[in-house]
Amino acid sequence: MQDGSQIFIPDSFIALHQGRNHKLLTPLAEVAARYELCEDLAQMLVEQAQILYHQSAPSEAAILKTMLMGLQGEGAVVTPHEARWVILRLAELLGWKAPELAQPES
């Protein structure tokens, strides 16, 4: 991220806040704040996903899809696109294969 900030926002997250012309639809400071929230969520879910995997031993994909439904549930603090990003980031952090996740409707 520019503007003197030390935060690096991955292109995959920036793309969530861009229009078709690749221009940001959201102010950069807000994108940075949303990124920090989503990255923190992904980091916090690592331990919970590992516990679920070792306790109930469902598939990695099933755990990730269940967590996605939780992130998109009532009172969600992230948008559906951000929730999908969080789950893909979580899979990356865990070293799990990312499940096939439908793109949320715009």
Give domain limits for the chain.
11-94
The residues that bridge with 18 in the sheet, in sequence order, are 24
- Under the banding of pLDDT at 50, 70 and 90, the label for residue 3 is low
User: Looking at the predicted structure, is the pLDDT value of residue 106 above 70?
Assistant: no
For the chain, give the DSSP string: --TT--PPPPHHHHGGGB-TTS-BSS-HHHHHHHHHHHHHHHHHHHHHHHHHHHHH---HHHHHHHHHHHHTSTT-SS-HHHHHHHHHHHHHHHTPPPPP-PPPP-
Which pLDDT tens digit goes with each residue over 14-58? 999 999 999 999 999 999 999 999 999 999 999 999 999 999 877
Is the entire prediction scored with pTM above 0.85? Answer: yes
